Amino acid sequence: MSKSRKIGSDRTDINEKKIEQHLVRAVKEVGGICPKLVSPGMDGMPDRMVLLPGCRIGFVEVKAPGKEPRPLQTNRHRMLRKLGFPVFVLDGLEQIPGIIEEVAAWRT
C-alpha cells in the first residue's frame, strides 16, 4: 500500500495551479482521467483522483513547491490509506511520472 509521499521536488518558479494542470494532462496522455475531487461535508479530501485503465485509482493532494498538507488533509490521507488507496502529495512536476506509475501498478 502506498503512503502519502513526496518524491523529490524541483523548486522552480511554479505554482500549485500549474502543477495541477500538468498532472491532468499527463494522466490524460496515458488514457486516464483526473477529475477534481469535490466532497461537500468532508473537508480535507485530496484535490484530484487519478483514474487509470484497468480499474486503477489514486488520490493526489496538490501543493505549491515546499508546502505541506494541513493537519485535516493529513488525517484524510491516513483514512484513505487505511481503506487501501494510494495517496500522494504532489509539489513538483518531476513527481508526476512516478505517481502515474505507482497508480498504474496499484493492486488491492
Tell me: the pLDDT tens digits for 67-106? 999 999 999 999 999 999 999 999 999 999 999 999 999 8
Measured CA to CA, the distance from residue 106 to residue 31 in angstroms comes to: 16
Domain chopping of the chain, boundaries: 16-105
- What is the fold of 16-105? Trna Endonuclease; Chain: A, domain 1 (3.40.1350)
Helix residue ranges per DSSP H, the chain: 16-29, 71-82, 96-105
State the distance between the two ends of the chain, measured CA to CA, in whole angstroms: 8
Closest CA to 36 of 94, 103, 45, 97: 45
Grid cell 473537508 in the structure block, residue: 43
pTM of the model: 0.85
Tell me: the pLDDT tens digits for 7-37? 444 445 689 999 999 999 999 999 999 999 9
